[in-house]
Amino acid sequence: MTNFDLREARAVLERTPGQLTILLDGLAPAWFERDEGPGTWTVRTVLAHLVHGEQTDWLPRVERILRDGERVPFDPFVREAEIAGTPSELLALFRAERAASLARLDALALRPADLDRRGVHPKFGPVTLRELLSTWVVHDLGHVAQIARLMAKRYERDVGPWSAFLPVLTDRKSGPAS
């Protein structure tokens, strides 16, 4: 039995741009520059990654499954594509791209049987539409958590002895694989 529910998934996907806008828009540039060491991402890098995913990954793969099934594999995804813009511009672009993605998703009028349709991931092989959509939701949540962790670590040296009670400061480093 699966936990996946398309309406619930869509509700999470719809909220992510607003959550990030509330969290980040208008903050000083220093909040966007913190990383967790060599090979890891900054908040700005995560925002660019989210925009790029909207443009080239999630809905194109959904549409590929529906159109081509397993006949044509997904295009590889460039995890670290560079997208120009300030953090505020990237947030605005993410909001617009996500709204367009959700409108396209809604227009597909997916039925429960569609969720079992399969496509081919270039690394994992056969995957279902349900798995792709579930991954999209978990991907969003992972990056929201990553951004919060990066922000918390900006004050890592300033919390003094309370660091022992703040696991967000000791959570693993993350980079492109996040």
What pLDDT is stored for residue 176 in this prediction? 53
Instruction: Give 21-40 pLDDT, tens digit per residue.
Output: 999 999 999 999 999 989 99
Q: Residue 80: pLDDT above 90?
A: no
Q: Is the pLDDT of residue 178 over 70?
A: no
Average pLDDT over residues 109-133: 97
pLDDT at 79: 76
pLDDT at 177 over 50: no
Report the candidate in 79, 80, 74, 81 with the shortest Cα–Cα distance to residue 123. Answer: 74
Task: Kindly report the average pLDDT of the chain as a whole number.
Answer: 93
Tell me the two tokens of residue 2. Answer: 């699966």
Assign domain 6-169 one CATH number from 1.20.120.450, 3.20.20.100, 2.120.10.30, 3.40.50.2300: 1.20.120.450
- Is the pLDDT confidence value at 83 over 80? yes
Is the model more confident about 177 or about 137? 137
Neighbours of 21 (CB within 10 A): 15
- Of all residues in the chain, the percent with pLDDT exceeding 70 is 96
- Report whether pLDDT(64) > 60: yes
**Mean pLDDT, range 109-138, rounded to an integer:** 97
Compute the Cα dihedral for 174, 39, 17, 155 and give only its sign.
positive
Cα–Cα distance list, 126 to 46, 54, 69, 122 (Å): 27, 22, 10, 9
Measure the CA–CA gap between 31 and 43, rounded to whole angstroms.
Answer: 8
Q: What is the mean pLDDT of residues 48-64?
A: 96
Ranges 1-5, 46-50, 137-141: which has the least confidence: 1-5
Query: What pLDDT score does 12 carry?
Result: 98
- Answer yes or no: is pLDDT of 175 > 90: no
Residue 13 · residue 136 · CB < 8 Å: yes
